[in-house]
């Protein structure tokens, strides 16, 4: 059981030629200004359409998101009937955008600030994101999602009205994560190899929940917080780890359960919590690359490209705001693997 990934993989390999190599990304570190960074990127062949890059940090940030979104849109079109299997890919970026928009509602951030770092996708284009950035409540955000016929719209239907408490925001994010996990793992069940990837994504979310368990004090119990569909955290282990009060011991136990799925990074004291997400993304890129070599007829070449494009986007956005703040090149560590 599964799809025919051959045509999509072949096109994905071709689209991979539009990615910047790690060396070019590293060479762009330590620029004196966003304008200088734009010049270096242009000389390296970025963006792929060779369009002009803005010289401001906000403009560059938006341009980087547009390029990653363009690749997702192209892949979405090429996927054809396989799209039904791929909420784990095409709705993953939407989930990140919606979580950021939820925090924007809670904080009362400006629309411009809420849009920073968001990626337009085939299911949430830039125009939709801009409308959502103007909302003042989760109810309004949910209505706009319904207007877009977005599959995650129902997750926010029963959330609280403003003013939102931290608990309200936590509940909304949990509802969004649960809806995404159900769609991602349910659709991927039609392909055994894709299901492994979807389970790994769910494992990541459950790991973060356990690592941040202190922040969830007074919130729903572990049975409500654990997302189904993963492999690393059966219900009994999740509940047991959730009850551990010592943060370092909890991190060790989470790493033990994630053995072979990037858990070694949690065991590495040199990896600070603030950088853990980037390290895990790099681990997933290497994992999909290895599987693409061993199983080239499965979804792995396609998934590998998606993750590499996401890493490029994160790296370039980091460079944009580092340039805006005048950070030295030594402060930059690329996610994109060598």
For residue 217, pLDDT beyond 80: no
Structural domain range at position 290: 6-331
Eight-class DSSP state of 299 = S
139 in a structural domain: yes
338 in a structural domain: no
159 in a structural domain: yes
1 in a structural domain: no
For residue 303, pLDDT beyond 70: yes
Element (H, E) at 169: helix 166-188
Average pLDDT over every residue of 232-258 = 90
What whole-number distance in Å separates Cα of residue 237 and Cα of residue 222? 10
336 in a structural domain: no
Average pLDDT over every residue of 241-255 = 88
Q: Which pLDDT does position 293 carry in this prediction?
A: 95
318 in a structural domain: yes
116 in a structural domain: yes
| 153-170 tens-digit pLDDT | 989 876 656 666 777 788
Q: What are the contacts of 260-269 at 24+ separation with CB within 8 A? A: 261/200, 261/203, 261/231, 261/232, 261/287, 262/287, 266/207, 266/211
- If one counts the domains in the chain, the total is 1
What is the average pLDDT score of the chain?
89
Residue 15 C-alpha from the chain's centroid = 20
Q: What is the per-residue DSSP string for 197-209?
A: HHHHHHHHHHHHH
Q: If you search the block for the tokens 């693409």, which residue do you land on?
A: 292
């Amino acid at each position: 059981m599964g799809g025919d990934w051959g045509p999509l993989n072949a096109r994905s390999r071709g689209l991979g030629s539009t990615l910047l190599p790690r060396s070019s990304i590293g060479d762009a570190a330590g620029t004196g200004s966003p304008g200088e960074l734009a010049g270096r990127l242009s000389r390296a062949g970025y963006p792929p359409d060779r369009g002009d890059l803005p010289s401001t940090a906000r403009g560059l940030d938006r341009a980087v998101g547009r390029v990653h979104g363009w690749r997702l849109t192209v892949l979405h079109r090429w996927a054809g009937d396989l799209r039904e299997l791929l909420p784990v890919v095409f709705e993953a970026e939407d989930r990140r955008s919606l979580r950021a928009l939820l925090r924007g509602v809670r904080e009362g951030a400006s629309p411009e600030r809420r849009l920073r770092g968001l990626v337009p996708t085939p299911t949430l284009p830039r125009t939709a994101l801009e409308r959502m950035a103007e909302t003042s409540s989760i109810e309004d955000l949910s209505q706009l999602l319904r207007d877009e016929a977005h599959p995650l719209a129902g997750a926010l239907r029963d959330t609280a009205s403003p003013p939102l408490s931290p608990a309200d925001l936590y509940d909304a994010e949990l509802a969004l994560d649960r809806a995404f996990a159900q769609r991602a793992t349910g659709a991927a069940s039609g392909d055994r190899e894709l299901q492994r990837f979807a389970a790994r994504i769910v494992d990541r979310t459950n790991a973060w929940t356990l690592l941040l368990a202190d922040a969830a004090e007074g919130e729903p119990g572990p049975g409500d917080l654990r997302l189904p569909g993963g492999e690393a955290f059966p219900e009994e282990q999740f509940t047991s780890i959730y009850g551990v009060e010592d943060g370092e011991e909890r991190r060790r136990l989470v790493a033990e359960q994630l053995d072979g799925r990037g858990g070694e990074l949690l065991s590495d004291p040199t990896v600070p919590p603030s950088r853990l997400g980037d390290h895990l993304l790099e681990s997933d890129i290497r994992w999909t690359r290895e599987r693409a070599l061993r199983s080239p007829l499965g979804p792995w070449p396609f998934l590998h490209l998606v993750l590499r494009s996401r890493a490029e986007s994160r790296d370039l956005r980091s460079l944009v705001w580092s340039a805006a703040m005048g950070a030295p090149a030594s402060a930059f560590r690329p996610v994109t693997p060598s």
